[in-house]
Amino acid sequence: MEDAQLKPTSAYIAEREKPILWFSMDQVWEPTACKATEELGVIEHLTKNETFQLGCGLVRFGVDPHILIPWPKIGHMARMSKRIQKSLTREGIRQGANPCLWMGTLEPVVREKWAVVDVWKCNEDFNTGKWVRVLE
pLDDT (tens place) for every residue of the chain, 136 residues total: 678 999 998 888 989 999 999 999 999 999 999 998 888 888 888 999 999 988 888 999 999 999 999 999 999 999 999 999 999 999 999 999 999 999 999 999 999 999 999 999 987 888 888 999 998 8
Cα–Cα separations (whole angstroms), residue 133 to 14, 61, 107, 117, 130: 36, 10, 25, 6, 10
- Tell me the whole-structure pTM to 2 decimals: 0.89
Domain ranges of the chain: 5-135
Instruction: Provide the pairing of β-strand 102-105 with 109-110.
Output: unpaired
